[in-house]
């Protein structure tokens, strides 16, 4: 971790500006009848999980350009995650990917995480790649393959991931498969979906009572003609058929351009099937860009729905995870920045005057309805985020504090640069 003195020194320099900005914002909010302290306390409760695969430099299918000091194993990944949480105070958990980050000794990994104030979030299985020791290939599918033996192998992998997650204190399994087809006619749509439902049920049967199973849909890639769980409709149907604790997970990058994701969020939640998120941003497809980097308004609109649902149902608590690929930035910086962007969207959504909004909706005043949303979105809540971080022991400006700490330079001395060629799968 970064020396507390470095963070304290950084905060001391920034504190006077923050005090002034916070006081000014406090006055402004008070005029709107909002208590800034309440908002800051709410910001402090916000948490989003880090993806274990996100702390390494990603890549495309063309190339990967590794950065200095990349973590070489799950322990070093946890070191990086703990730095992210130390400074951002918004990322107390890690979502593990198996087999990429399969620990030899789960107990040792759990202790290592706990010593760094980290816990484990949803577990991710992987049947979109072949592993060296497996009997059958997933080239033509996994949970939906025409061969029962392949399906069984994929089911067993998921069950193994659940067993591992139990030892790590996780409470959910996220299932994303690449199954689909590249040619019309290649795959029988109804049969492959039927196989999926059978496989999902077999995995669900192995789930502990207090676990959720999260189904992640994705429009295309790696399959370019059809994908078995391609949209929220298939995801919803599969979750409904599988069981009560089987829910849909929305990855923001997994939709066609211009799709109204906030409405998908609303629909799934209305029918009790919204289970979680993979936050990222995109311009074209599954770009896995940093959260809020392209369309922060969309992120805000998603949180506008989430806050609205939460206010109607206090038990509503979907899993929040980042799922991004950092190809040109330091992943630690990107993850800290993204966590704050998601937190910012949440805080702004809390500012929406819901009573006024409902009034404008009921009186058919579209201009004022959208202005009510914009009034919350346009407010700069940075001082709230900064104050929440500082009070929790984090950094007022995480990126500046991180750069001042020279953490990357220091780990680069112990971690040799990894290979340059090949693609980075994210
Ligand atoms: C793939 O596109 C999905 O976003 C999955 O969440 C995937 O398992 C993750 O990105 C790790 O590769
Ligand atoms: Zn995802
Ligand atoms: Zn994705
Ligand atoms: Zn992804």
Using the mean position of ligand 4's atoms as its centre, give its distance from the Cα of residue 382 in Å.
Answer: 28
| Residues in contact with 330: Cβ distance below 8 Å, sequence separation at least 6, in sequence order | 67, 408
> Looking up tokens 């059809």, which residue turns up?
226
Average pLDDT of the chain is: 97
pLDDT for 371-401, tens place per residue? 999 999 999 999 999 999 999 999 999 999 9
Using the mean position of ligand 4's atoms as its centre, give its distance from the Cα of residue 221 in Å.
Answer: 11
Q: In testing the pocket of ligand 1, which one of 229, 278, 325 has its CB within 8 Å of the most ligand atoms?
A: 278
Mean pLDDT over 160-164 rounds to 98
417: confidence class by pLDDT, cuts 50, 70, 90: confident
Instruction: Tell me the domain boundaries of the chain.
Output: 47-352
pLDDT for 146-155, tens place per residue? 999 999 999 9
Beta carbons of 345 and 373 less than 8 angstroms apart: no
pLDDT for 282-291, tens place per residue? 999 999 999 9
Using the mean position of ligand 4's atoms as its centre, give its distance from the Cα of residue 205 in Å.
Answer: 26
CA angle in degrees (0–180, nearest 5) for 190-193-197: 135
416: confidence class by pLDDT, cuts 50, 70, 90: confident
Given this model, what pLDDT does residue 409 score?
A: 97
Q: Which ligand is nearest to the CA of 124?
A: 1
pLDDT for 28-62, tens place per residue? 999 999 999 999 999 999 999 999 999 999 998 89
Taking 60 as the threshold, does the pLDDT of residue 424 lie above it? no
Q: How many CB atoms lie within 10 A of CB 240?
A: 15
Ligand 1 atom at shortest distance from the alpha carbon of 286: 2
Taking 90 as the threshold, does the pLDDT of residue 426 lie above it? no
Q: How far is CA 228 from CA 129, 203, 214, 375, in A?
A: 16, 17, 15, 41
For residue 173, which phi and psi values (nearest 5 degrees)?
A: -120, 125
Minimum CA distance residue for ligand 1 atom 11: 426
User: Which residues surround the ion ligand 2 when the cut-off is CB under 5 Å?
Assistant: 251, 278, 323
Taking 90 as the threshold, does the pLDDT of residue 343 lie above it? yes
Taking 50 as the threshold, does the pLDDT of residue 421 lie above it? no
Using the mean position of ligand 4's atoms as its centre, give its distance from the Cα of residue 426 in Å.
Answer: 5
Q: Which ligand is nearest to the CA of 178?
A: 1
Minimum CA distance residue for ligand 1 atom 9: 426
| Residues in contact with 139: Cβ distance below 8 Å, sequence separation at least 6, in sequence order | 130
User: Which residues surround the ion ligand 4 when the cut-off is CB under 5 Å?
Assistant: 323
Ligand 1 atom at shortest distance from the alpha carbon of 218: 2
Q: Which long-range contacts (CB under 8 A, 24 or more apart) does 146-150 make?
A: 146/191, 146/195
Beta carbons of 95 and 321 less than 8 angstroms apart: yes
The two beta strands, 319-322 and 123-124, are unpaired
What ipTM was assigned to the predicted interfaces of this complex? 0.95
419: confidence class by pLDDT, cuts 50, 70, 90: low
Burial of 46 (0-12, 13-18, 19+ CB in 10 A): buried
Using the mean position of ligand 2's atoms as its centre, give its distance from the Cα of residue 178 in Å.
Answer: 11
3-class state of residue 252 by DSSP: coil
Minimum CA distance residue for ligand 1 atom 10: 426
Given this model, what pLDDT does residue 418 score?
A: 72
The binding-site residues of ligand 1, defined as CB within 6 angstroms of any ligand atom, are 53, 97, 124, 176, 216, 218, 251, 278, 286, 323, 426
Instruction: Please give the helix or strand (H or E) that residue 161 lies within, else none.
Output: helix 148-168
Using the mean position of ligand 1's atoms as its centre, give its distance from the Cα of residue 295 in Å.
Answer: 20
Of the candidates 167, 96, 150, 152, the residue with the CA atom closest to the CA atom of residue 125: 96
Sign of CA dihedral 398, 399, 404, 410: positive
Given this model, what pLDDT does residue 420 score?
A: 55
> Looking up tokens 């609109």, which residue turns up?
301
> Looking up tokens 């080239």, which residue turns up?
139
Given this model, what pLDDT does residue 422 score?
A: 44
Distance CA 152, CA 385 (A): 47
Q: In testing the pocket of ligand 1, which one of 280, 323, 425 has its CB within 8 Å of the most ligand atoms?
A: 323
pLDDT for 171-229, tens place per residue? 999 999 999 999 999 999 999 999 999 999 999 999 999 999 999 999 999 999 999 99
Using the mean position of ligand 1's atoms as its centre, give its distance from the Cα of residue 426 in Å.
Answer: 6
9: confidence class by pLDDT, cuts 50, 70, 90: very high
Minimum CA distance residue for ligand 1 atom 12: 426
Beta carbons of 245 and 212 less than 8 angstroms apart: yes
Distance CA 379, CA 372 (A): 12
Query: In CATH, which superfamily holds the domain spanning 47-352?
Result: Divalent-metal-dependent TIM barrel enzymes (3.20.20.150)
């Amino acid at each position: 971790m970064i020396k507390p003195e470095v963070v304290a020194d950084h905060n001391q320099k920034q504190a006077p500006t923050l005090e002034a900005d916070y006081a000014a914002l406090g006055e402004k909010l008070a005029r709107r009848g909002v208590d800034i302290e309440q908002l800051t306390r709410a910001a402090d409760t916000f948490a989003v999980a880090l993806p274990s695969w996100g702390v390494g430099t990603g890549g495309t299918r063309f190339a990967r350009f590794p950065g200095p000091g990349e973590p070489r194993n799950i322990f070093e990944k946890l070191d990086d995650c703990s730095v992210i949480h130390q400074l951002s105070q918004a990322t107390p958990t890690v979502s593990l990917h198996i087999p990429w980050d399969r620990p030899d000794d789960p107990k040792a990994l759990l202790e290592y995480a706990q010593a760094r104030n980290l816990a484990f979030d949803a577990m991710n299985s992987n049947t979109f790649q072949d592993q060296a020791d497996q009997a059958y290939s997933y080239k033509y599918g996994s949970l939906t393959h025409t061969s029962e033996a392949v399906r069984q192998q994929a089911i067993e992998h998921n069950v193994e991931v659940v067993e591992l997650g139990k030892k790590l204190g996780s409470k959910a399994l996220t299932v994303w498969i690449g199954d689909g087809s590249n040619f019309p006619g290649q795959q029988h749509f109804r049969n492959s979906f039927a196989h999926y439902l059978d496989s999902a049920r077999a995995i669900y049967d192995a789930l502990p009572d207090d676990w959720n199973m999260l189904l992640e849909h994705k429009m295309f890639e790696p399959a370019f003609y059809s994908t078995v769980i391609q949209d929220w409709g298939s995801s919803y149907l599969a979750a409904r058929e599988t069981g009560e604790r089987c829910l849909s997970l929305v990855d923001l990058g997994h939709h066609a351009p211009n799709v109204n994701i906030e409405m998908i969020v609303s629909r799934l939640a209305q029918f009790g099937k919204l289970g979680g998120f993979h936050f990222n941003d995109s311009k074209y497809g599954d770009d896995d860009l940093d959260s809020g980097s392209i369309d922060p308004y969309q992120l805000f609109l998603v949180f506008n729905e989430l806050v609205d649902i939460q206010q109607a149902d206090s038990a509503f608590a979907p899993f929040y995870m980042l799922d991004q690929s950092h190809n040109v930035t330091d992943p630690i910086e990107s993850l800290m920045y993204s966590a704050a962007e998601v937190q910012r969207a949440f805080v702004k959504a809390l500012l929406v005057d819901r009573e006024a909004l409902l009034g404008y909706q009921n009186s058919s005043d579209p201009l004022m309805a959208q202005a009510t949303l914009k009034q919350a979105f346009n407010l700069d809540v940075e001082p709230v985020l900064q104050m929440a971080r500082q009070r929790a022991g984090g950094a007022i400006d995480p990126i500046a504090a991180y750069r001042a700490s020279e953490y990357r330079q220091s780990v680069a001395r112990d971690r040799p640069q990894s290979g340059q060629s090949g693609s980075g799968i994210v």
